[in-house]
Homo-oligomer: A and B are copies of this chain.
Amino acid sequence: MSYFDAASAAPLHPVARQALQASLDEGWADPARLYREGRRARLLLDAAREAAADAVGCRPDELAFTTSGTRAVHAGIEGALAGRRRVGRHLIVSSVEHSSVLHSADAHEAAGGSVTLIEVDRGGRVSPSSYAEALRPDTALACLQSANHEVGTEQPVAEVAQMCQESEVPLLVDAAQSLAWGRVPGGWSLLTASAHKWGGPSGVGLLAVRKGVRFAPQGPADERESGRAPGFENIPAIVAAAASLRAVRAEAEEEAVRLRGLTERIRARVPAIVPDVEVVGDAVHRLPGIVTFSCLYVDGETLLHELDRADFSVSSGSSCTSSTLTPSHVLKAMGVLSEGNVRVSLPPGTAAEDVDRFLSVLPGVVSGVRERLGAPGAATRAPASADSLVVDALGRRCPIPVIELAKVIGDVPVGGTVRVLSDDEAARLDIPAWCEMRGQEFVGEEPADQGSAYVVRRLS
């Protein structure tokens, strides 16, 4: 079994397991109590805070343990916005943040705040200048992930932090995907992370708030964790989180080089062995362990299912694997193909043979899915029959609208057009992406009786 979805959750690190088990006996009592069980629990908690703060690069009293990365993000954004309420209610977030950040932004907007969404390039990376342009006198907070969770692209955090500092606006960095690899560089103001992303246990997040950052915890008062994380502390899990962060950091430099080699192999080989594939994400600024690609004419759910049958656990940002019927907001923001999307995120320790086996299995799996869906082969060009054609793909889900388009594009002459009628949200992303991949022209989207008409001109 090859588990290639470390960006969702990493398997428990052996050090985390040992620390968890060892601290079950000492860490269950209330650390606020004065008797010995309480004092022992307090000692464990304090030591874990020291260790985690050292890994984050902050003071222990700047660091609170939350119950998840999501809670750290929610509490961090709410608290920072409330703390700077007098300055204004403007929030800046990148369009490729984790959903916990974007949902916090939605909640802020619903409560009357304003939000600027920073666009990314086709590699998923923001430009520091776009943050500089978005900063306003009433900006209360800016947020930027250290690296993207779906495509692995690293963001220019230090440069953006510098710009925020110059404007005296705090920057919250969601470091969930990168903290295992090292400290976040630059002058961030708030930082969030999640232990189960680095091989720590579930149930632990980090929220660091630098001294001097105005911060007003929201929600009912609670005395735990400086008022920033309500509820009884889960000390055994906190101890395990801190111990495993230290352990993965000790292995990080070497392991990063090794994993980067493996993901580079996937980046290079997949387009060579699977036709009609787009590798997405920044080729240079990227995390060691994540590589993402999208396969034309493939239904993401079936692809994942077939890979699972072949013993590979991966995830996908395709609309057909989500309950919302919309493709991943990250792929959307990047403007890249979402159908047949596969994210491979290798946990530390992944064997090279497993990656090779993945590469040997993938072509057959993809072609099998395409065959079943009746996807067009590369050479199936029928003679031109009319200057324009209409394809009715209403009620059909990804990847069918693209498959139907590809099937008929050869039926119109060069210069002719195909109108694809579709009410599938993914078509809006995938038809232009298909045009870009296949060298055809995407003329535009027009409203139709149902859904939209996507107009494509044949160029070759």
Binding site for B on A (CB under 8 A): 1, 3, 5, 8-12, 17, 20-21, 24-25, 27-30, 33-38, 67-71, 74, 78, 99-100, 103-104, 106-107, 194, 196, 201-203, 205, 219-224, 230-237, 301, 304-305, 307-308, 312-315, 321, 323
CB-based contact B3/A37 at 8 Å: yes
CB-based contact B231/A70 at 8 Å: yes
CB-based contact A34/B308 at 8 Å: yes
A165 vs B432: C-alpha distance in the bound complex, in angstroms? 57
A194 vs B67: C-alpha distance in the bound complex, in angstroms? 14
A35 vs B5: C-alpha distance in the bound complex, in angstroms? 10
Residues of B within 8 A of A314 (CB): 35
**Minimum C-beta distance from A223 to chain B (A):** 8
CB-based contact B34/A24 at 8 Å: no
A68 vs B225: C-alpha distance in the bound complex, in angstroms? 14
CB-based contact B34/A11 at 8 Å: no
Residues of B within 8 A of A235 (CB): 202
Extra contacts besides A100-B230, A202-B234 (14): CB < 8 Å: A5-B30, A5-B35, A8-B33, A12-B28, A17-B24, A38-B313, A100-B220, A100-B222, A103-B222, A107-B220, A107-B221, A202-B233, A203-B203, A234-B237
Choice from B11, B36, B70 contacting A230 with Cβ under 8 Å: B70
A34 vs B308: C-alpha distance in the bound complex, in angstroms? 8
A35, A69, A223, A323: which has the most chain B beta carbons within 10 Å?
A35
**Minimum C-beta distance from A394 to chain B (A):** 27
Known: A35-B314, A230-B68, A231-B70. A221 touches B304 (CB 8 A): no
Residues of B within 8 A of A10 (CB): 28
User: Could you write out 26 A-B pairs with CB less than 8 Å apart?
Assistant: A1-B36, A3-B37, A8-B29, A8-B30, A8-B33, A9-B28, A9-B29, A9-B30, A11-B28, A12-B24, A12-B28, A28-B201, A34-B308, A35-B304, A67-B68, A67-B234, A70-B231, A74-B220, A100-B222, A106-B220, A201-B236, A202-B232, A202-B234, A205-B231, A219-B219, A234-B237
CB-based contact A232/B68 at 8 Å: yes
| Minimum CB distance partner of A101 in chain B | B220
A304 vs B34: C-alpha distance in the bound complex, in angstroms? 8
A67 vs B74: C-alpha distance in the bound complex, in angstroms? 14
Residues of B within 8 A of A107 (CB): 219-221
CB-based contact A33/B5 at 8 Å: yes
CB-based contact B36/A222 at 8 Å: no
A206 vs B221: C-alpha distance in the bound complex, in angstroms? 20
Closest 3 CB pairs of A and B: A68-B231, A203-B234, A67-B67
**Minimum C-beta distance from A433 to chain B (A):** 24
Residues of B within 8 A of A27 (CB): 202
| Minimum CB distance partner of A20 in chain B | B24
Residues of B within 8 A of A38 (CB): 313
A20, A33, A107: which has the most chain B beta carbons within 10 Å?
A33
Known: A68-B232, A70-B230, A201-B236. A221 touches B33 (CB 8 A): no
| Minimum CB distance partner of A219 in chain B | B74
Residues of B within 8 A of A71 (CB): 67, 230-231
Residues of B within 8 A of A30 (CB): 5, 8-9
A220 vs B301: C-alpha distance in the bound complex, in angstroms? 28
Residues of B within 8 A of A34 (CB): 301, 304-305, 308, 321
**Minimum C-beta distance from A124 to chain B (A):** 21
Residues of B within 8 A of A205 (CB): 231
**Minimum C-beta distance from A105 to chain B (A):** 8
**Minimum C-beta distance from A251 to chain B (A):** 19
CB-based contact B305/A231 at 8 Å: no
Residues of B within 8 A of A301 (CB): 34
Residues of B within 8 A of A25 (CB): 12
